[in-house]
Chains A and B, each alone.
Chain A
Amino acid sequence: MPNSNTSAAAKILSLNNIEVVYDHVSLAIKGVSIEVPEGGMVALLGANGAGKSTTLKSISGLLVAERGEVRRGELQFLGRSISLLSPQQRVKLGIAHVLEGRRVFEHLTPDENLVAASAVRSRHDMNRNKERVYGYFPRLHERRGVASGYLSGGEQQMLAIGRALMTQPKLLMLDEPSLGLAPFLVAEIFQIIGRINREEGLSVLLVEQNAVAALEIVSHGYLIESGRIVMHDTAEALKRNPDIREFYLGGAKAKSFHDIKHYSRRKRWLT
């Protein structure tokens, strides 16, 4: 089932059988394997608590902030193992993680948010990067002097993405950028993400509960359930898949709880 074309193309990121535990005991993800092709856009879909955010944190190294650790598996970025690197080192290599819930620096202005995240030393380069971000998100430029805590949800999401771009990433990981936003804003933000991907060749790993929106812009998708990858295919195939249609795209007829349980069990069998 996994598309052979992906593995043939150059990979920017590959997770092989990653297992994460929190507090030494609770197993959050159980052997997740994911690949992101260079310059590609991949979605990681799944319900609440399925392990999507944990997967991203294992890649960015932010598990340490929550007493979590990767206990097993291989994390490779641009062909080198990154398991032992600190979050800063991973950012330097080119991994940017836009956190769930946006998490902008609320008491700083949008402009200061961008400055704080800037990876480059020279003021000239920093200003060029800022202009680039403002180019993608003109609304941030209009609001650049306001404390970011007062921005709207959509503006904060734009700022969080713009802030990540200031680190000059090669891989942009987005954790639920659509969360709590009006549909037209989701469309706008996804469209800009697509543009950044096309214009700069930035690889994107998109984590979403909003499968409808996500599958519109990615080429491949993974489906994660209870800490396991249960499906992997092209976006087109996933959109056509009857199970996905039913449970993640809000498809057709309602089913009983028994059927859902049956479905989950079957999925576990398949992996």
Chain B
Amino acid sequence: MDWALLAESATNGGLVGLMYSLVAMGIVLIYKSSSVPNLAQGSMTMLGAYVVLAFANNAKAPIWLAIMLAIVTMFGVGMAIERVALRRLAGRPIIMILMMTLGLEILLRAGAMTIWGGTGRPMPLGISDDPLFLGSMLINRTYAVGAAVAIVMFGLFMLFFRTRMGVVLRAISDDYTAAWSVGISVERGVALSWAMSAVVATVAGVLWASVQGVDQSLAQLLLKGVTVAVLGGLDSLGGALLAGMLLGIVEGVSASFLDPVLGGASRDLVDAAMLMLTIMLRPHGLYGRHDIERI
């Protein structure tokens, strides 16, 4: 057993996992405030990265400003998605809303292909490629930054859900009709959750793009996001954070040790196993809420 390799791949895996958490958090945000599982989170992440590039390359904005502008833009995009695609579906069966988000996913991916083409572009964040040395372990700097950002975002959202607006969003996710009955603007609340989710998607998009470049394959992060969100419990931000780390560690370790045997498929196999086992053994995930039943 190569302990040094184990430690290194577990650490890097954990950091990558926290970057998965960023994608998952977007899914959780929407689910937590409207009980809709968003299948477009991956392509929103991709779109966020493209919008940053559009501001940086076409408008020649410095990268930090481009990110700020993209965050504002994507906030609007999130609101618009709710207004145009989802508002009219309020109160319809969840399966129809789910299919609508799948349609959005395809639309955004195809739209990005149409506008920006299929070639990969770099995301010049200016994070050095040199590894960090932690004892004898080599740590990827981008992963470290991504993980830190994920933890900061997590903290911000935790604080948000304690504010009055946050309580209102949780109320909406509990019971639409009851929320209406006390004068809560359900539509505005759901729109806000989509906007916040689009913002976190932008952040995730930028970080992931600096790892793998900007192209449509960023949308495939949906699979990681869904796996992590389900494992964490769909409506638990803390669960998403922990589940991301867990998935990342298992993935990282298995990639280091099993890839030679499995021909490079071990990450995906781990994802599939995690997702399916969670649903079979623990459908509410690590920290998901159970529906309260009084006895």
| Chain A positions near chain B (C-beta within 8 angstroms) | 60-62, 65-67, 87-88, 91-92, 96-99, 103-108, 112-113, 115-119, 147, 149-150, 152, 163-164, 166-167
Which 3 pairs, one residue from A and one from B, show the smallest C-beta to C-beta distance?
Answer: A149-B292, A91-B183, A117-B182
Cβ-defined contact, B294 with A150, below 8 A: yes
Cβ-defined contact, B182 with A62, below 8 A: no
Cβ-defined contact, A104 with B178, below 8 A: yes
**Which B residues touch A116, using CB under 8 A?**
164, 167-168, 170-171, 179, 182, 184
A-B contact pairs, 19 of them (CB 8 A): A91-B181, A91-B182, A96-B182, A98-B181, A105-B174, A106-B291, A107-B174, A108-B167, A108-B171, A108-B174, A112-B170, A116-B164, A116-B167, A116-B171, A117-B183, A118-B164, A119-B183, A149-B292, A150-B294
**Which B residues touch A97, using CB under 8 A?**
181
Which of these, B167, B180, B293, contacts A87 with CB under 8 Å? Answer: B180
Which of these, A60, A98, A105, A152, contacts B170 with CB under 8 Å? Answer: A105
**Which A residues touch B170, using CB under 8 A?**
105, 107-108, 112, 116
Would you call B55 an interface residue if the criterion is a C-beta within 8 Å of the partner chain's C-beta atoms? no
Cβ proximity bits B181-194 to A, threshold 8 Å, 1 near / 0 not: 11111000000000
**Which B residues touch A167, using CB under 8 A?**
182-183
**Which A residues touch B177, using CB under 8 A?**
62, 65, 99, 103
A103–B168 Cα gap in the complex (Å)?
15
Cβ-defined contact, B292 with A60, below 8 A: no
Instruction: Report the contact-size class of chain B (Cβ under 8 Å from the partner).
Output: 20 to 34
Which of these, A66, A87, A104, A108, contacts B183 with CB under 8 Å? Answer: A87
Q: Contacts A65-B176, A118-B164, A149-B294 known; A112 to B182 CB distance under 8 Å?
A: no
Q: Contacts A107-B289, A150-B294 known; A87 to B171 CB distance under 8 Å?
A: no
| Chain B nearest CB, measured from A73 CB (Å) | 22
**Which B residues touch A60, using CB under 8 A?**
181
Would you call B93 an interface residue if the criterion is a C-beta within 8 Å of the partner chain's C-beta atoms? no
A98–B181 Cα gap in the complex (Å)?
7
Q: Which of B238-290 contact A (CB under 8 A)?
A: 289
Q: Which of B120-149 contact A (CB under 8 A)?
A: none
Beyond A105-B170, A105-B178, A117-B184, 7 additional contacts (C-beta under 8 Å) are: A96-B181, A99-B181, A103-B177, A112-B170, A116-B168, A117-B183, A118-B164
Would you call B91 an interface residue if the criterion is a C-beta within 8 Å of the partner chain's C-beta atoms? yes
Which of these, A62, A67, A106, A166, contacts B174 with CB under 8 Å? Answer: A106
**Which residue of the partner chain B has the closest CB to A156?**
B294
**Which B residues touch A67, using CB under 8 A?**
91
**Which B residues touch A152, using CB under 8 A?**
294
**Which residue of the partner chain B has the closest CB to A117?**
B182
Q: Contacts A104-B178, A167-B182 known; A112 to B292 CB distance under 8 Å?
A: no
| Chain B nearest CB, measured from A163 CB (Å) | 6
**Which A residues touch B181, using CB under 8 A?**
60, 62, 87, 91, 96-99, 103, 164
Cβ-defined contact, B180 with A65, below 8 A: yes
A166–B171 Cα gap in the complex (Å)?
14
| Chain A nearest CB, measured from B173 CB (Å) | 8
| Chain A nearest CB, measured from B3 CB (Å) | 44
A116–B176 Cα gap in the complex (Å)?
12
**Which B residues touch A96, using CB under 8 A?**
181-182
A112–B293 Cα gap in the complex (Å)?
19
**Which residue of the partner chain A has the closest CB to B162?**
A112
Q: Contacts A99-B177, A116-B167, A116-B171 known; A107 to B292 CB distance under 8 Å?
A: yes
**Which residue of the partner chain A has the closest CB to B178?**
A103
**Which residue of the partner chain B has the closest CB to A113?**
B171
A96–B183 Cα gap in the complex (Å)?
9
A88–B289 Cα gap in the complex (Å)?
29
